[in-house]
Amino acid sequence: TIIGTPPNLIFIQMMELLFPAAPTVTFAEWILLGLPIAILILISAWVIVCKIAFKQATHFDMNKDLIHDEYQKLGKMSFEEKTVLAVFATTALLWVTRSDIQIGDLHLYGWANLFPKSDFITDGSVAVMMATVLFFIPSHDSKDERILDHAVFSQIPWDIILFFGGGFALAKGIVDSGLSAYIASSFQSMAQISGFSMIISIASLVTFMTELTSNVATTQMLLPILAALAKAMQINPILLMITATISASMAFMMPVATAPNAIIFGSKQIHVIDMVKAGFLINLTGIVIISLIVYFLAAIVFDFPLDQFPDWATGMGAP
């Protein structure tokens, strides 16, 4: 989903910043593109880990009693937990159904069309509205308390928000300074390269680049450049930018690549060479899957012809 990882959110914001006239990428569209990728990579990862990389150690004894005991310690869901779950499920439903959904000849109208100013309603509006609801629902233990109160503001990771904002400010500077136009002109010699060749090259570069760099920093740095490259090649910027965005989350080799990798390595149950061996194969598989799905499915999901440069992309770099 769009909220699944920070690079996805960065992609959405970069599209709005670099191409204001571009159609908004909706939750439903992202799921239609991302779900096949997630399923195929999940299956491939299981095969690689269990049947290729560690096939000699795939059998282990599971202590079901331990799992049962830990589950019992959780106890029953509290009123607050059920409320938050209901609010989150409602939020996800509103996100998916907010905009129109076009699947071939099937057209489903989004609920935002019920309002006169539907353009004012965004996914951010939904998130703010549903979060605000939690400030009004009373706690089950005390009617004077709410599920959320002002104390939560002190727990917001402002450093991450400022980090995101700095990246977007940098991208805006690239556009307004004319640097994006200069980059686009510098890439004119690459106009003859096929779209699929460029997609698989970007997927390969970003996948292995993010093994050593932050996926957030990688996407914030590359997306404005890829937007300029797409303009120079006269292909839809979504193809290149979304390839880089999804590939930025394909970090399976190095412990420093992402927090889950570091946690697994910190357990001291696996060595770096084991992670590299399995992760390298998963990375290669992910590159192929992402490239094929984006090239053949993105045009259907986002409803654009592969051989046509969109009108909304011609204005890139205009303040």
Instruction: For residue range 108-125, list pLDDT tens digits in order.
Output: 788 888 888 777 888 888
Rounded distance, CA 302 to CA 25, Å? Answer: 8
Is pLDDT above 50 for 319?
Answer: no
**CB–CB of 134/187 below 8 Å?**
no
- At residue 42, does pLDDT exceed 80? yes
Q: Which helix (H) or strand (E) holds 100?
A: none
Residue 264 near residue 211 (C-beta atoms within 8 A) = no
Of 103 and 178, which is predicted with more confidence?
A: 178
Q: Once rounded to an integer, what is the mean pLDDT over residues 15-31? A: 87
pLDDT bin (cut points 50, 70, 90) of residue 195 is: confident
Question: pLDDT at residue 266 above 50?
Answer: yes
Please check the confidence at residue 170 and state whether its pLDDT lies above 90: no
Residue 20, judged by CB atoms within 10 A of its CB (0-12, 13-18, 19+), counts as exposed
Of residues 151 and 8, more confidence is placed in 8
53 vs 249, residue with greater confidence = 249
To the question of pTM greater than 0.85 for the whole model, the response is: no
pLDDT-derived band at 88, boundaries 50, 70, 90: very high
pLDDT of res. 59: 60
> Helix (H, G, I), strand (E, B), or coil: what is residue 125?
helix
pLDDT of residue 56: 65
The pLDDT value recorded for residue 69 is 85
Nearest to 235 by CA among 172, 297, 304: 304
Greatest alpha-carbon span in the chain: 68
Average pLDDT over residues 159-180: 76
CB atoms within 10 A of CB 226: 25
- Who wins on pLDDT, 56 or 75? 75
Query: Above 80 in pLDDT, residue 275?
Result: yes
Three-state DSSP at 146 gives: strand
Tens of pLDDT, residue by residue over 59-83, are 666 678 888 888 888 888 888 889 9
More confident residue, 199 or 195: 199
Q: Mean pLDDT: which of 54-58, 168-172, 240-244 is highest?
A: 240-244
- Element spanning 102, H or E: strand 101-103
Average pLDDT over residues 146-165: 80
Is 287 within 8 Å of 247 (Cβ atoms)?
A: yes
Query: What tokens does 254 get?
Result: 């190095």
Cα–Cα distance measured from residue 118 to residue 98, given in angstroms and rounded to the nearest whole number = 9
Beta carbons within 10 angstroms of residue 111's beta carbon: 13
Q: How confident is the model at residue 318 (pLDDT cuts 50, 70, 90)?
A: very low
pLDDT band at 190 (very low <50, low <70, confident <90, very high): low
pLDDT at 40: 96
Ranges of each domain in the chain: 6-63+158-313
